[in-house]
Amino acid sequence: MDRIKMKTPLVEMDGDEMTRVIWEIIKDELINPFVDLKTEYYDLGLKKRNETDDRITIDSAEATKEYGVAVKCATITPNAARVKEYDLKEMWKSPNGTIRAILDGTVFRSPIMVKGITPCVRNWESPIVIARHAYGDVYKNVEMKIPGKGKAELVFTSEDGKQERFVIHEFEGPGVIQGQHNINKSIESFARSCFNYALDTKKELWFATKDTISKQYDHTFKDIFQEIFEKEYEDKFKESGITYFYTLIDDAVARVMKSKGGFIWACKNYDGDVMSDMISSAFGSLAMMTSVLVSPSGVYEYEAAHGTVQRHYYKHLKGEETSTNPIATIFAWTGALNKRGQLDDIPALCDFAQKLEKASLSTIESGRMTKDLALITDLQDPKVYNTKDFIKEIRKTLERMANE
């Protein structure tokens, strides 16, 4: 059989632990036999990051800017235990953080739905995609405990030395205060990434803040979104038949619960942090959640939303069998291949990516799955496979589909 040819290479970012093991098997079993894969390979495994003083992470992000599409394996974000385990020169920063800072992107997390894994919320028929603003607010706050009686003020000193001053509170006794900030440029990038992704996926876009209470801070988010929408996107949205919808966060939460799903929910940093955990657990499993970083200039980096599945990796190292779910990592590959196919006008590549997704899901729907899904499925008598055998089952389904 002729393998599908590619034009532009994908930026391939390899990673750590169990997901690195799965990465290799996915390529061997599901991609290389069908696609004449072209990649620019970057090893973001912790060992290599340490050897290169993390230069490799920066290089991979720069390459993504150049080529436009990347696929990334989960990577370890070092903590004190990892510094010891890998004998690190430094506690290197989170690769995702480094890449996101260079690409200035927004992360979109989307649950993968499959028959037999039913969302807790009965009326959710399609995925709800969460877009989380990844800069500022409470994550870059300054806070202090107030020891006792006194006045807390908000002061801004402009470049020319002029001051603006507001009283936060006249304290009669002990309390707490907090200063938060955001910058218009970052909010604008967030807005553009959301609008672009909505157009790209033809999904409606919701955005919500607490602008009724926060009349300057949250209202700025609302205004920036509205202004950019009207100036740059309104016509394109009309053409695509999708809508942009702003509402109060309380109203959004109520509507989300009553909805059928199928839209993108853009959230401020904190809301996105909290709501994405709610959405992913309500849809079923972190192992069935994909993630794509979209830059305002239209660069894409696909990955699984879960980590390196450390616990399974240690079992694997001991020679024990693991049943780690490869679906989100497979979908990172299919997302990237499909996008590459669109950009380079290779319909066969898009077609292959979609087939591989279908084959993965129909394998599960036929009752063959990994242990995590077997525990939550409502299919009768599911058959549990180890990671490699499950991927081989997907390959069988894929080959059967190719011959149909």
Binding residues for Mg ion, rule: CB under 5 A, are 273, 277
Q: Which residue number is nearest to ligand NAP in terms of Cβ?
A: 307
311 makes contact, choosing from ligand NAP, Mg ion, none, with CB < 5 to 8 Å by partner type, with ligand NAP
Provide the CB-side half-sphere exposure for 185 (13 A, CA).
Answer: 1
Q: Which is nearer to Mg ion, 198 or 309 (CB)?
A: 309
74 makes contact, choosing from ligand NAP, Mg ion, none, with CB < 5 to 8 Å by partner type, with ligand NAP
Q: Applying CB under 6 A, does 76 fall inside the site for ligand NAP? A: yes
Provide the CB-side half-sphere exposure for 330 (13 A, CA).
Answer: 31
Single out the residue of 60, 182, 308, 338 in contact with ligand NAP (rule: CB under 6 A).
308
273 makes contact, choosing from Mg ion, ligand NAP, none, with CB < 5 to 8 Å by partner type, with Mg ion
Separation between Cα atoms, residue 173 and residue 175, nearest integer Å: 7
User: What stretch of H or E contains 193?
Assistant: helix 184-201
β 175-179/142-146 pair status: antiparallel
Residue 274 C-beta: closest distance to Mg ion, Å:
6
Q: Which residue number is nearest to Mg ion in terms of Cβ?
A: 273
Single out the residue of 77, 186, 366, 386 in contact with ligand NAP (rule: CB under 6 A).
77
Single out the residue of 74, 294, 349, 369 in contact with ligand NAP (rule: CB under 6 A).
74
Q: Which is nearer to ligand NAP, 35 or 293 (CB)?
A: 293
Q: What is the dihedral of CA 163, 168, 170, 173, to 10 degrees?
A: -130
75 makes contact, choosing from ligand NAP, Mg ion, none, with CB < 5 to 8 Å by partner type, with ligand NAP
Site for ligand NAP in 371-390 (CB under 6 A): 372
Residue 153 · residue 165 · CB < 8 Å: yes
Q: Which is nearer to Mg ion, 232 or 277 (CB)?
A: 277
Angle between helices 327-344 and 347-365 (to 10 degrees): 160
Residue 10 · residue 336 · CB < 8 Å: yes
Report how far apart the first and last C-alpha atoms of the chain are (Å, whole number).
15
Q: Which is nearer to Mg ion, 276 or 322 (CB)?
A: 276
Residue 121 · residue 257 · CB < 8 Å: yes
Q: Applying CB under 6 A, does 307 fall inside the site for ligand NAP? A: yes
**What is the arrangement of strands in the sheet containing 263-267, beginning at the earlier edge strand?**
39-43, 10-14, 69-72, 300-304, 289-294, 106-111, 129-132, 263-267, 204-209, 244-248
Q: Which is nearer to ligand NAP, 287 or 359 (CB)?
A: 287
306 makes contact, choosing from ligand NAP, Mg ion, none, with CB < 5 to 8 Å by partner type, with ligand NAP
Q: Which is nearer to Mg ion, 137 or 393 (CB)?
A: 137
Using CB under 6 A, list all residues that contact ligand NAP.
Answer: 74-77, 96, 286-287, 303, 306-311, 324-325, 372
